[in-house]
Amino acid sequence: MKRKVLLIYTGGTIGMEKDYETGSLRAFDFGNIFEKMPEMKLMECEVFVHPFAQPLDSSDMGPEEWRMIANLILDNYKKYDGFLILHGTDTMSYTASALSFMLKGLTKPVILTGSQLPIGDLRTDAKENLLTSLYYASLYEENEAVIQEVAIYFEYKLLRGNRTLKYSAEYFDAYASPNYPILGQSGVHLKIDKDNLFRCDGRIEFHVDEHISEDVLFWRIFPGMKLNHFKEIPKMKVLILQVFGSGTIFSSEKTLETLQQIRNNGTEIVVVSQCISGGISFGKYENSNIFSRIGAISGRDMTAESAITKAMHLIDNPNYHGSFADNFARNICGEISE
C-alpha cells in the first residue's frame, strides 16, 4: 500500500517559472505539478496537492499563515501519512520553528522545502529538493513514521526545523543547523541517523496549539549603541536581545539601569547569541553577569528564529503552566540542548 502525502504549496521560488518573452518570474498553477514533474508519478507514494489560493512570498508569511498550515494539517491528519510544505526560503526557518511548537503530539513527518532557483530553470535545485522531501515525508518502517517532527530538507540534508537558519542567499546549500547534527543525508543512498530524531510524549494525542502572540521584540546589540532608545519603545511582553559571543554586553551602570527598568515594567528579557555556532553561558565572562542580576533568560544554543517563535508561542499561553521563564528554559521539541 502506497503512503499518502499531502503537498501544501504556499508560494516561493520553487513554484515560479520564467516567462522567456519578458524574462520575469511568475507563479505557475501548482495543480499542474505532475505535468511539470512527471517523475513524481514514479514515487512510491501518492501525492495530493493543496495550493494556497494566493501564493505568498515568504516575507509575507506570519502567524496567520502558520495557523492556516497547522490547522490544514490537523484537518487532514488522519487521511495522510505525511505532509510536505513548499515554502519560500527567506522565512522557512521561522515557519518550521513555529510549527514545531504548535503541532503537539506529532507522530508523522512534516517536511518543509523550497529552492534557490525556480522549478522551470535549467539549473534548478527544486526537483531534487521536492522529490527527496517526498521520500522523507512518506518514509515508514513497520507501520511507524521514521520522521515524527518538523524538518527542513534542502540540498541533500534533512535538518530539524527549529534548529535551522538560512545562511546563504547565493548557494544551493542555503541552510545550516549549527548546534544540532543533521537528521539525514541523501546521496547514492538516502540515510537517516535515528539517534538524532525527536520523539514526543506518546501519551499526547495530536492537536494544534495555535496560540501565537505578536507582543515580542527582537533587538541586536552593537558596539556604541545608545540603550536609552529603549526608553522610547512601547512596553512589550518579551524583549529578545541578540548579544555578543557567549552572552556579553557593554558593562556600565547605565546599561544595568536601562535593562532593569525594562524588567521592572514587566517585560521578560531573553538573551541569544550573535554567533551562528555555540550559545549563551551566563557567568562565563564578567560582562554577562548583568543578565543574571536582572533576571534575564538564557536562550542557550537556540537560533534566533527558534527563540523568537518560541517566545511568541509561550507568552500568555493558557495551555502552559508555570512561569514564562521556566517554560522557555524547557526543551519542548528538540529546539534546545539538554
CA 192 – CA 178 distance, rounded (Å): 18
Cell 556604541 appears where?
224
CA 151 – CA 161 distance, rounded (Å): 4
Classify 326 as helix, strand or coil: helix
For 203-263, give the DSSP string.
TSPPEE-------EEEEE--TT--GGGGGGSPP-SEEEEEEBTTTB----HHHHHHHHHHH
CB contact burial 231-240 (16+ within 10 A = b; e otherwise): eeeeebbbbb
Q: Which residues contact 323 (CB under 8 A, 6 or more apart)?
A: none
Pairing label, strands 110-113, 144-145:
unpaired
pLDDT for 94 equals 98
**Cell numbers at residue 282, please?**
551566563
113 annotated as belonging to a binding site for a ligand: no
**Cell numbers at residue 165, please?**
537558519
* Tens-place pLDDT, residues 208-227: 999 999 999 999 999 999 88
Residue 326 has pLDDT above 90, yes or no: yes
Residue 204 has pLDDT above 90, yes or no: yes
Please choose, from the candidates 94, 124, 130, the residue with its C-alpha nearest in 3D space to the C-alpha of residue 216: 94
User: What mean pLDDT comes out for the span 96-118?
Assistant: 97
Task: Say which amino acid occupies 123.
Answer: R
pTM of the complete model beyond 0.85: yes
Catalytic residues: 13, 89
For 206-218, give the DSSP string.
PEE-------EEE
**Cell numbers at residue 9, please?**
504549496
Task: Count the neighbouring beta carbons within 10 Å of the beta carbon of residue 49.
Answer: 17
The end-to-end CA distance of the chain, in Å, is: 39
Q: Find the largest Cα–Cα distance for the chain.
A: 67
CA 203 – CA 105 distance, rounded (Å): 8
Are 137 and 82 in contact by the 8 Å Cβ rule? The answer is yes
pLDDT for 152 equals 98
User: What mean pLDDT comes out for the span 316-327?
Assistant: 97
Pairing label, strands 207-208, 175-176:
unpaired
Which residues, in sequence order, are bridge partners of residue 184? 158, 192
pLDDT for 29 equals 74
CA 76 – CA 326 distance, rounded (Å): 33
* Tens-place pLDDT, residues 58-84: 999 999 999 999 999 999 999 999 999
Tell me the helices (H) and strands (E) count for the chain, helix number first: 8, 20
CA 137 – CA 82 distance, rounded (Å): 5
Q: CB-hemisphere CA count at 13 Å for 162?
A: 27
User: What mean pLDDT comes out for the span 296-325?
Assistant: 98
Residue 23 has pLDDT above 80, yes or no: no
pLDDT for 122 equals 82
213 annotated as belonging to a binding site for a ligand: no
CA 25 – CA 118 distance, rounded (Å): 8
337 annotated as belonging to a binding site for a ligand: no
Please choose, from the candidates 205, 200, 211, 206, the residue with its C-alpha nearest in 3D space to the C-alpha of residue 318: 211
* Tens-place pLDDT, residues 147-199: 999 999 999 999 999 999 999 999 999 999 999 999 999 999 999 999 999 99
Residue 100 has pLDDT above 80, yes or no: yes
DSSP state of 4: E
**Cell numbers at residue 338, please?**
539538554
pLDDT for 317 equals 98
**Cell numbers at residue 192, please?**
537517516
User: What mean pLDDT comes out for the span 29-50?
Assistant: 85
